[in-house]
Amino acid sequence: METAARPASWKLLLAFAIIYFVWGSTYLSIRVGVREVPPFLLAGLRFVLAGLFLYGWMRLKGIAHPSRREWAGICLQGTLIFLVDYGCLFWAEQRVPSGIAAVVLATIPVFITLLEITILRTQQLTVRLGLALSAGICGVAVLMNHSFSLGQAPIDRTGALVLLVAAFSWSVATILTRRLALPASKPMSAASQMLAGGLQLLVLAALTGEFTGFRVQAVSWTAWFALLYLIVAGSIVGFTAYIWLLHYESPTKVGTYAYVNPVVAVVIGYFLGGESIGLRTVVGSVLVLVSVITISTMPSKARAVEVAAVELASAKIE
């Protein structure tokens, strides 16, 4: 999608590198942060601060405030994407390695497809699609199964189930995006959803007692840096690179971050986070990624992929 003179190749490569590697690395940053800061509080701080920055930036550029009708859709999306999805992700990363968390969340296209087949009736179940869905389900089963080890312990079952709830919630949000009144400006929509969801996360943190006994001075600089990295690199820099890329590349091509991020997260978790990569992790991850790539590249899914790519990454910022 070209609307201006095409920039230098190195600029495009840099922008792709940012959404591939910065977004892939944020999973480890979350795991580092939740070791010292309660998960809902950490997530709430991240999205409120990032949302305030992006909202202010949009207003300075002359983008109008969302209307009252748009705020209703924004709050619903804020609940599904940030309160439920990211709340579950931050909570689960107390129990599940960051790389595996990224792999499980990569099942979002699987859930979207299942909803389109069973509820919306907008997709037909073909042999190829059935095999792709089966591969994704088997990939998650391999990671969670306690019956056979493949030389590696299975991931925490509760944490994995919570991540599946996160993936399902995001899938519902993706489908609802096509039906809700949201701001025409993707950056304003993302900023508003982050603000709404971030505030809900802070309320949840208060209700679950996360503020009780929490001492700011007891948090190490490592954890604060992780939060800063999530806000600046993951939310602001990554999002800016993503929006810029959409002016010069198709959403489907830009959306390839969904295949690359889990791989980057697993590798970074191994080298920097001390997380193990055993046969179970490899087999489960390959099955999930094969499923996601197959589903996302099917011709009948092209439009859905483009919508999902734009809407998911407009608040991405993992």
* Domain chopping of the chain, boundaries: 9-210+221-313
* Contacts of 5 by beta carbon, 8 Å cutoff, 6+ apart: none
Please count the CA atoms within 13 angstroms of the CA of 122 that sit on its side-chain side: 10
- Tokens encoding 15: 């922008």
Query: Exposed (0-12), middle (13-18) or buried (19+): which is 120, by Cβ within 10 Å?
Result: exposed
Q: What percent of the chain has pLDDT over 90?
A: 70
pTM score of the predicted model: 0.92
Query: pLDDT-derived band of residue 6, with 50, 70 and 90 as boundaries?
Result: confident
Q: What does R_g of the chain's alpha carbons equal in angstroms?
A: 19
Q: Which residue has the tokens 């806000």?
A: 231
**Positive or negative CA dihedral for 149, 150, 156, 158?**
negative
Q: What is the pLDDT of residue 316?
A: 54
Q: Are 194 and 13 in contact (CB under 8 A)?
A: no
Query: pLDDT-derived band of residue 2, with 50, 70 and 90 as boundaries?
Result: very low
Q: Are 166 and 45 in contact (CB under 8 A)?
A: no
Between CA 202 and CA 32 the distance in angstroms is 19
Query: pLDDT-derived band of residue 174, with 50, 70 and 90 as boundaries?
Result: confident
Average pLDDT over residues 177-193: 91
Tell me: the pLDDT tens digits for 12-67? 999 999 999 999 999 999 999 999 999 999 999 999 999 999 999 999 999 999 99
Separation of first and last alpha carbons in the chain:
25
Tell me: the pLDDT tens digits for 263-306? 999 999 999 999 999 899 999 999 999 999 998 887 655 445 45
Query: pLDDT-derived band of residue 145, with 50, 70 and 90 as boundaries?
Result: confident
Q: Are 259 and 109 in contact (CB under 8 A)?
A: no
Coil vs helix vs strand at 97: coil
Q: What distances in angstroms separate CA 42 from CA 195, 218, 253, one per listed residue?
A: 14, 14, 32
Between CA 163 and CA 134 the distance in angstroms is 18
Between CA 47 and CA 216 the distance in angstroms is 18
Phi-psi region of 151 (alpha: psi -120 to 50; beta: other; left: phi over 0): left
